[in-house]
Structure 1
Amino acid sequence: MSASARFGSRYPRGWERSSETVETVLLTLPPDVTRVTASMRLSIEAEFGGWELSRVRLYSDGTRKVLLRRKKTKPRDRTPTTHDRDTRNPGEAQAC
């Protein structure tokens, strides 16, 4: 999202926040952002960031508050296992 979208704004009453399994982000889009532009920005976030649209609130001044959510992923443990290493020739690279 661009610098015009503010992160960390106050959540409207009744909107969910992050939990153990879901993380959320609240965006505030200014009134000068058109519906088409907002839709394109949110589509990009969905496609490349893994976010899905949870809620949208349009205020009388044209400001939009948008709640995006996605499932939390567990950090991957990158400790090499025995099948990751070639024990015969540890200094040589292996072809795939």
Structure 2
Amino acid sequence: MNEFLPRADAHVVSPRRKQPTPRRHFEWRVVDIASDMSRSDAHGLLTEHAEYGQWELARSVIYTGGARRVWLRRRVMRLQRTDAA
């Protein structure tokens, strides 16, 4: 009966927010880097995201097998039209 309840040591993440935020200041991208990718290739990949996409590194995690997960963020630009259209 309790087979679908999470364990006490498990971390449960809810994908929905309780109240929607009126404005988001950042947009996020999660990049998973495989364990067989070299460090220099991963560096080049993240450099391209930073240079051409204006992404910045927010957080990174290295897992036991050597795989990496990187969170990138960039500021959302809110532009208003200035013409009469």
Report the TM-score range of the alignment, normalised by the length of the smaller protein.
0.5 to 0.7
Structure 1 residues 78 and 38, CA, compared in 2 at 3 Å: closer, same or farther?
Answer: farther
Alignment root-mean-square deviation, CA: 2.2
Count of aligned pairs between the two proteins: 64
Structure 1 residues 38 and 76, CA, compared in 2 at 3 Å: closer, same or farther?
Answer: farther
Match of 1:68 among 66, 72, 76: 72
Q: Does the residue aligned with 1:70 lie in a helix, a strand or coil?
A: strand
Amino acid of the structure 1 residue aligned with 2:43? S
Amino acid of the structure 2 residue aligned with 1:21? H
Q: Does the residue aligned with 2:60 lie in a helix, a strand or coil?
A: strand
Q: 4+ runs of 1 displaced by more than 2 Å?
A: 75-81
Q: TM-score, normalised by structure 2?
A: 0.65
Amino acid of the structure 1 residue aligned with 2:81? D
Q: Distance in 2 between matches of 1:20 and 1:80?
A: 27
Q: Distance in 2 between matches of 1:43 and 1:74?
A: 25
Q: TM-score, normalised by structure 1?
A: 0.58
Unaligned runs of 5+ in 2: 1-12, 14-22
Deviations 1:6-55 (A, max 9, x none): xxxx9xxxxxxxx7101111111111111111111100110000000111
Q: Does the residue aligned with 2:52 lie in a helix, a strand or coil?
A: helix
| Structure of larger gyration radius | 1
